[in-house]
A and B are shown apart, each in its own frame.
Chain A
Amino acid sequence: MPQSLLLKNGRIIDPANNIDSPGSLLLENGKIKSVYLGDYANSPQGECQVIDASGKWIVPGLVDMHVHLREPGEEYKETVESGTRAAASGGFTAVACMPNTSPVNDNEAVTTLILAKAKKAGFAKVYPVAAISQHSDGSRLAEFGELQKAGAVALSDDGRPVENSQLMRRALEYSTNFDFLLISHAEEMTLCGDGVMNEGPLSTRLGLRGIPRIAEEIMIYRDLALAEYVNRPIHIAHISTRESVDLIRRAKLKGCQVTAETTPHYFTLTEEAIGDYNTAAKMNPPLRTLDDRQAIQEGLEDGTIDAIATDHAPHSRAEKEVEFDLAANGIIGLETSVPLALALVRDKIISPTRLVELMSVNPCRILGVKGGSLDQGASADVTLIDPDLTFTYEEKDVVSKSKNSPFLTWSLQGKAVLTILNGKITFDAL
């Protein structure tokens, strides 16, 4: 008996197949069976669960290419299970998790553990990003081949930069043999010093040490130059400033193989969110200015920025309810990414198609993984989005184990209401 599910009469947005049209989607045995464009009046043959998708978007499963799942080592903040559950409730069918766990994911054992936990949880596909350097300490290369064999999809020392330029060059060169993507956390550490927020008039007024924008930009420039020099692709994580966008735009014009992501907080917030030392607005890179936010939005609009990723970074109260200087960097983001991105659609900055490119098509393409389309026969990873649903984001509703979000109490519009992974419903708010 085939297991069938019909998402009936929604708006199908599938940029990979150039589709933005009313239609229905039939899933069968964990695969996409067929796409019906136009009004679907017939009842499907045989036993089939039918879901009314009217007024909703049917899109390929969303993919967040930059999250921190905290397992192994900091399970009190998040686990693979709780993090992927949060992902599913945010509309994601896949996440790429960064290696700054404890121990660092610089070996086969940790990669295998993460994959096993993900499989057991069953909420989302998990793509481990392994470390560039052993222990991510920037001194020796990790075993790229071994990590790839274990299932890592890309490499990064995220959480910190590869400070040593020679090591970064060698990593880029050595990645050629495995066609492994390197993801750059761009931060020139000596300029950052012990800064805790964007450097400028506001940091001066609050008496907080500043992180200058050039700390990010100089490192992006270095990594672009290195990647171009050795003719390798590079992906720049979480960009936050106008000049970062410009650097990537210029590199792309030159034909460099560069891709970039930004996060919902950089296109939504500015440093003003810190207000009265609000540690829920502390992250790295820090929130910037209105002008930077504007530039990030332009980059999303004109294609300079390829992906929206959340940099989902769970922290417990113990790390956040402290003096601003001492608070941990990072915020959770999986459950607010869709509504915040939809605000860009409502503001006519990006189209619905572009949103799906940024949150599904491109992350898959950059990571070199399947997904990002509603191709017949593809894995039935699908997200149903209600673009109009309004809700207040409250702490009690947060699925992630940690609650460190600057968007708590915000009134948001638009939400993933159904998430399907391999044909199985992983989240249902219908």
Chain B
Amino acid sequence: MEVVHKFCHKHILGLEQLSPDDIDFLLRSAASFKEISTRQIKKVPALRGRTVINLFFEPSTRTRLSFEVAAKRMSADTFNISASTSSLKKGETLIDTALNLAAMKPDIIIIRHSHSGSPGLLAKHTKASIINAGDGTHEHPSQGLLDMMTVLEKKGRIGGLKIAIIGDIAHSRVAHSNIIGFTKMGANVSVSGPATLLPMGIEHLGATVCSSVDEAVEGADVIMALRIQSERQKDPLIPSLREYATFFGINKRALTLAKPDALIMHPGPMNRGVELDPDLADGPHSVILDQVTNGVAMRMALLYAIMGGGEG
């Protein structure tokens, strides 16, 4: 007999707070929501009458759009607030913003913010459910979940797989959520990149730190290349993007070290030819567009679960 898991989180602040059962529940739920996106009429009434606010303090097209599409397919009313089109940058504090939004009685606020921990601060000052759509260098839980969903879909399992995450681990909330999530689900996560971009104590999140990219990708089932931001040259964390591409970029040679059926992933947006060889990005190993498709399904699952749809 299958035991129905009860999902009882009000907020999604990070994968750190979710149990393997919670993650498993979301992965299954997202798989069933994915079917909706293939219908001619891509809409279900699950969140009819619910108000969802997209509160984005950092520019983002992909994630914001993905959440918006997810909410609309669930029939929720959605509103977008971004820093450039509001008073958010004119001296109003996050708590002021929270109190103002609370007055509009939203059910869910999806927040992206450049400061780690902001979603939790928002959660303390409003009654709405909060979904973290990326906070500083902390977590990006929906991305971690959609990455796990993509791997599960392609590999049939997560447990026991070797996941190599390459690049700017220090500044990547995607890497953090993926390390936490994949480790919780029984995968082995190896990380590598320039030592300047591997944060102190990353192994405490469950990752194995490899001193070379080759070591990290050897025998890997999944290779995830992270976006390298050009500002890192100035910091100074890397000498140049050219040198980065040569020594840390994922190319065809690196792929030969991985399992023959290895998946290539990238959370986007991509610097083609820097962290990832363009041929690989568009090649048969790449599941980058599957990640985008699954993003909508996973975000539908998240919205549904925190609105009580997780009760068995």
Contacts and interface: CB of A to CB of B under 8 A. Distances in A.
SS of B interface (majority) = mixed
B201 A201 contact: yes
Interface residues of A, number: 21
Interface in A313-340: 318, 321-326
Contacts, number: 69
A318 B95 CA distance: 10
B201 A323 contact: no
A204 B201 contact: yes
Contacts of A325: 115-116, 136
A286 to B, nearest CB: 14
Given A321-B95, A322-B93, A325-B136, A204 B202 contact: yes
Contacts of B120: 276-277
A396 interface: no
B280 interface: no
A200 interface: yes
B137 interface: yes
Contacts of B202: 201, 204
A321 to B, nearest CB: 6
Given A277-B116, A321-B95, A324-B116, A207 B200 contact: no
B116 A207 contact: yes
Interface string A195-214: 00001111111111110000
A326 B95 CA distance: 13
Given A322-B93, A326-B115, A200 B200 contact: yes
A319 to B, nearest CB: 11
Nearest to A326: B115
Nearest to B14: A207
A324 B200 contact: no
Contacts of A203: 199-201
Of B16, B117, B118, B136, most A-chain CB atoms within 10 Å: B117
A207 B205 contact: no
Nearest to B140: A207
Nearest to B139: A207
B200 A204 contact: yes
Contacts of B205: 204-205
Interface in B176-194: 176
A209 B116 CA distance: 9
Given A322-B94, A322-B95, A325-B136, A206 B200 contact: no
B135 A207 contact: yes
A237 B75 CA distance: 59
Nearest to B135: A207
Nearest to B122: A323
A209 B136 CA distance: 10
B201 A207 contact: no
A206 B135 CA distance: 10
Contacts of B118: 323
B121 interface: yes
A323 B204 contact: no
B115 A324 contact: yes
A277 B139 CA distance: 14
B113 interface: yes
Interface bracket on B? 20 to 34
Interface string B124-139: 0000000000011111
Contacts of A210: 199-200
Interface in A177-233: 199-210
B299 interface: no
B227 interface: no
Contacts of A321: 93, 95
A206 B94 contact: no
A200 B201 contact: yes
B201 A208 contact: no
A207 B93 contact: no
A151 to B, nearest CB: 39
Contact of B138 (A199, A207, A318, A326): A207
Of B93, B115, B120, most A-chain CB atoms within 10 Å: B115
A208 B205 CA distance: 14
B72 interface: no
B204 A201 contact: yes
Interface string B93-117: 1110000000000000000010111
B162 interface: no
Nearest to B16: A205
B270 to A, nearest CB: 22
A276 B117 contact: yes
Contacts of B200: 199-201, 203-204, 210
Contacts of B93: 318, 321-322
Nearest to B118: A323
Contacts of B266: none
B116 A206 contact: yes
B105 to A, nearest CB: 23
A325 B116 CA distance: 8
Given A321-B93, A325-B115, 13 more contacts: A201-B200, A201-B201, A203-B201, A204-B200, A205-B201, A205-B205, A206-B117, A207-B139, A207-B176, A276-B120, A323-B118, A324-B115, A324-B116
Interface of A: 199-210, 276-277, 318, 321-326
In order of increasing CB-CB distance, the 9 nearest A-B pairs are: A201-B201, A207-B138, A277-B117, A207-B116, A323-B115, A201-B204, A207-B137, A204-B199, A325-B115
24 contacts: A201-B201, A203-B200, A204-B199, A204-B201, A204-B202, A204-B204, A205-B16, A205-B201, A205-B204, A205-B205, A206-B116, A207-B139, A207-B173, A208-B137, A208-B138, A210-B199, A276-B117, A276-B120, A277-B116, A277-B120, A322-B94, A323-B116, A323-B121, A326-B115
